[in-house]
Amino acid sequence: MTKFIKLIPKTIMVLLVASLLVGGATSCKSKKKLAKEKAAAEYAMKVDNAKKDLTAIINGSTDWTSDQMADRIAKIKDYNIQDEEVKGLIKQAEAKVEDVRAAEMRKAEEERLRREEEARIRAKQSEFAVIDNQFEAVANANGVDNANNQIQMALQYFETPDIPVLIIISQNGGFNDYDRPTTITKFLNYLKDKKVYKYRVESAKKNGMGKITELELITK
């Protein structure tokens, strides 16, 4: 093989070496071009995806929470995209996140207040359940004698047979409108006659012995 190479004219040898060098250079340039094209394609895809996600955030067409939106915006900003449209969309999306966060906070506060009110009502219903049940017993009594017995049982919870009973007929702005005042004895006889109890205890004042001194009812 060495002898064969020695037999090749110098001109041909030079041409072969030059060809190999040119081929290597061409291959290197081709790889750089492909790498550049790949990088450009990846960048273009990032820009396109960024625009789509930012637009979705602005339009409220995602199911992301405010934190998820903020994370996505931060990631897009990390791309350092030099595109004026993307920059504008980022600002709009950040403003949208603030609006969503404010709405989430309002909703959370409303939910907290709702749970507190439900807990308050349950506690109140539990506190006055005995009185409500006794009034139901008077209204649903089977016969006059049974009703009178239920009335006497109910009166045991009150300081006197004449303690005032206030019936709320409407509530507005923290103020109550009341029906004409009555007494516990008159109210219990009313239940006996009407045979229906359509109220619930709203509040009750008690003396030191735990006897009710004033009762406030509200229509169910």
Q: Rounded to whole angstroms, how far apart are CA atoms 75 and 42?
A: 15
Burial of 158 (0-12, 13-18, 19+ CB in 10 A): buried
User: How confident is the prediction along the chain (220 residues), in pLDDT tens digits per residue?
Assistant: 544 445 455 555 555 555 555 555 556 668 888 888 887 888 889 999 999 999 999 999 999 999 999 999 999 999 999 999 999 999 999 999 999 999 999 999 999 999 998 888 777 667 799 999 999 999 999 999 999 999 999 999 999 999 999 999 998 887 899 999 999 999 999 999 999 999 999 999 999 999 999 999 999 8
User: What is the pTM (predicted TM-score) of this model?
Assistant: 0.48
Q: Rounded to whole angstroms, how far apart are CA atoms 42 and 89?
A: 20
- β-pair partners for 204: 215
